[in-house]
Structure 1
Amino acid sequence: MSSPRQRQLLLALVTAVTVGSTVLVATANAHREAPAPESWVASWAMAPAPAGAGKSKTGFTDQTIRMIVRTSVGGTKARVRFSNRYGTQALTIGHATVALPWPDAGPGDLKPGSVKDATFSGQKSVTIPPGGTAVSDAVDMEVPWGADLAVSVFLPVETGPSTWHVYARQTAYIGSGDQSGSASGANLPETRNNYYFVTGVDVFNRTGEGAIVVLGDSITDGFMTTVNASHRWTNYLATRLNKESPGGNAPGILNAGLTGNRLTGDGTGLGFPELGANGFARFYSDVVAQPGVDTVILALGINDIWLGKRDANTIIAAMQQIAALAKADGIRVLVATLSPWNGFESAPGVVTYTPSLDSVRLAVNSYIRTTTDFDGIIDFDMALRNPADPTKLRPEWDSGDHIHPNDAGNEAMAKAIPLDLLLWDAGDKDS
């Protein structure tokens, strides 16, 4: 059995992902179709996984967890989705609230007067059986566009192992008793860098622009970005869309990235269930089930190379199947090339990158750039690579581990994405 330190190190290593700034090659059917206005749309989501070690495994009893999420789009109402997908026993939510954070006042504090109860069919509490999900009633509030929202959950009885997200890049605040209705964070002294049980926030959106889901790994997950800063490339993209979309309308941007995730293998097979199920197993729960989804960006594959030692044909076949699943459900599907990773070590002094393995990446990228299996491509490789050595990330965008972009690299990725692939124009909306 590995020690907590060994587990942390291995998880850090297992965190390669596909990412990058983006040159997009669109197909003839580039524009999205406008969904009906005045509808529920997902504004934030997280990709859940089974419990690993520590708090996720021991669970919670008579405790409150306060978690901060970053919305992509806003609206006039909110509802929260909770999951016990990987639980081994019933999960009871005794009290849940939604509020606006007030970090300047103190850690975990909420803006006075902003705390609102999230009920369930009119009841304060709900019990979710193992494998189940629950959604709150609509909460009347002005949900901000591209800003933080606080979700507090009181868990009165033993939860057992958690359905969670291991690398939130956002502080969660934990304390004893029911603190969900309190604006103060003073009684929430314990902190973690994880999400627990909360898997989505939907908004009643005035414009009904739909949602885009990114099915990805640690690069999408923002593994090396600044904690509590919301500097994942998907956050930067949401901000850009909110500023530049026609009429000030934008689709929701949902980050379904999981550190260490693969197309062709599960985390349990490596002894790290928190790395999640394979891309196929996640597709319906993490993509299709999102309210308002009309587009998915597939950003998986690099972990299949260095961690799974899969050949190019195996990875390509998996990508083709994801494309087929999306099209069968009427969802547009875009695909991202695999970005450079020369210099990456799976542990200090343990060289993971080899030219032979990189040849698999290059073969997969060649397929992506020439195939018609997708509705468009995002060329993360071209956007992030060092012109002086295309096998490496640009130095100014390298977080230091030679595979994950830093904050500036994530921003560059979002800026490089051609927005006409993600938005429709006035002509499309009238047609």
Structure 2
Amino acid sequence: MALVTIVAVGSTLLVATANSQAVAPEPERWTGSWSAALTAAGSGKSKDGFADQTIRMFVHTSVGGTAARIRLSNRFGTQPLTIGHATLALPWPEAGPGDIKPGSAVDATFSGQRSITIPAGGSAVSDPVHMEVPASQDVAVSLYVPVASGPATWHVYARETSFIGQGDHANDASGAKLPETRNNWYYVTGLDVLNRSGQGSIVVLGDSITDGFKSTVNADHRWTDYLGWRLNQEAPGGKAPGILNAGLAGNRLTLNGIDAGFNELGMNGSARFHFDVLGQTGVRTVILALGINDVWLSQDNADNIIARLQAMARLAHQSDLKIVVCTLSPWNAFESAPGVVAYTPTLDSVRLTVNSYIRTTTDFDGVIDFDAVLRNPADPSKLRPEWDSGDHIHPNDKGNEAMAAAIPLDLLLLDEDEDLR
């Protein structure tokens, strides 16, 4: 019979047998569970900002935890932003639009204070909010903005409905006094959780395909949402990393959104790296899913795109991060919007050249071949028809699910002898 020894260390029990060493539970660490890449204001509500208004937004977690904290940004603001009251709560959509479960709202404080003023260009992280945060579920973040904010720092294509109303309703269970709706997020850039996964977080730096453009609103059917759910189901011992979506519609490696007249398309990939990747909590891997907009929006050449990809790999490795790159999926849009060139075989040859580099290079630590997953076997220049949202570039919900299902999880999980940095 093996000898079993039980040793009490503080409140932790260490269990060892004659054939093994005592192993303590993984310590609790802060891990990023959700994120959004934010940009300067565009038009409408983002340009006007908020005054004496509550914004209730819903964010979809990847991993859960025993406590939470929110990260807020006024990075692109032109004046100080005052948050007079912030709460986290669990949603209750079956009760009514914008509703939260009665009694679930918990105040988020900042250095013990209920309100905080964030300077223009600044950011803030709340104190720990003690609540059980579910994995792969929505959490409601309500922010009361008491005085005029000026133009808002925001995310334009949230694929989630946000609710806005006059006055402080951050604690209200009902969304009845939040009658104005938008499909945007404002100011909130991250939700961190305290857990024992020991796996840290993975940031996906991408474009509209990662952002979930054309996926069903309020369904959480982005490929990153499916990936988070899959990891929670399949990661050994339930120890899943957080999946942080840093996708921006129209984003490019080589140019900024303002170059095309749209702030909300964000800055170029390398400019975003320092904020949207290195600024995340517990990050240890980045998935790079950029490049297709450089082909069909910018009409850049393959050499320039490849050079930018190589630069991104160097940025990650200099920061001691693992980086995995995605091939560029098919696009075959013949209907051209103003300023956008429709598909041509010549442009597609650029995409194929970039993909050939991605599949053969050793610059990255791994490859996710979304092109192979999504292309139509009968016509590889097009998406599979059953996964085409209708615009011939963005996958529908089923296509997003197929993308997540095809990712080799060994690219994303830490080895047993690999320490979380």
Q: Secondary structure at the match of 2:66?
A: strand
Deviation for aligned residue 1:208: 2.5
Deviation for aligned residue 1:423: 1.3
Q: How does 1:39-188 map to 2 (within 5 A)?
A: 39-188=29-178
Q: Secondary structure at the match of 1:358?
A: helix
Equivalents in 2 of 1:274, 1:388: separation in Å? 36
AA of the residue aligned to 2:234: E
The residue that corresponds to 1:333 in the other structure is 323
Equivalents in 2 of 1:424, 1:198: separation in Å? 29
AA of the residue aligned to 2:204: V
Q: Secondary structure at the match of 1:64?
A: strand
Counting matched residue pairs gives 396
Q: How does 1:1-400 map to 2 (within 5 A)?
A: 37-347=27-337, 352-400=342-390
Q: State the structure with bigger RCO (CA 8 A, min sep 6), 1 or 2.
A: 1
TM-score (norm 1): 0.90
- Please tell me whether the aligned partners of residues 72 and 145 of structure 1 are also in contact (alpha carbons under 8 angstroms): yes
Worse overlay, 421-430 or 287-296: 421-430
- Please tell me whether the aligned partners of residues 37 and 209 of structure 1 are also in contact (alpha carbons under 8 angstroms): no
1:301-336 deviation line (CA, Å, top 9, x unaligned)? 010111111100000000101100000010000000
TM-score (norm 2): 0.92
Equivalents in 2 of 1:303, 1:37: separation in Å? 42
Equivalents in 2 of 1:350, 1:315: separation in Å? 18
Q: Secondary structure at the match of 2:336?
A: strand
- Please tell me whether the aligned partners of residues 246 and 426 of structure 1 are also in contact (alpha carbons under 8 angstroms): no
AA of the residue aligned to 2:229: T
Deviation for aligned residue 1:350: 7.6
Equivalents in 1 of 2:376, 2:27: separation in Å? 43
Identity %: 70
Alpha-carbon distance change, 349 to 396 in structure 1, aligned in 2, over 3 angstroms = farther
Q: Secondary structure at the match of 2:130?
A: strand
Deviation for aligned residue 1:348: 9.2
Equivalents in 2 of 1:205, 1:310: separation in Å? 43
Unmatched tracts of structure 2, length 5 or more: 1-25
- Please tell me whether the aligned partners of residues 219 and 257 of structure 1 are also in contact (alpha carbons under 8 angstroms): yes
The residue that corresponds to 1:17 in the other structure is none
Equivalents in 1 of 2:29, 2:167: separation in Å? 36
Q: Secondary structure at the match of 1:381?
A: helix
AA of the residue aligned to 2:185: Y
AA of the residue aligned to 1:381: D
Equivalents in 2 of 1:401, 1:199: separation in Å? 29
Higher Rg of the two aligned structures: 2
- Please tell me whether the aligned partners of residues 374 and 403 of structure 2 are also in contact (alpha carbons under 8 angstroms): yes
Equivalents in 1 of 2:292, 2:326: separation in Å? 11
Worse overlay, 199-208 or 67-76: 199-208
Alpha-carbon distance change, 427 to 294 in structure 1, aligned in 2, over 3 angstroms = closer
Equivalents in 1 of 2:415, 2:365: separation in Å? 17
Equivalents in 2 of 1:328, 1:221: separation in Å? 26
AA of the residue aligned to 1:382: A
Q: Secondary structure at the match of 1:139?
A: coil
AA of the residue aligned to 1:398: D
Equivalents in 2 of 1:64, 1:253: separation in Å? 28
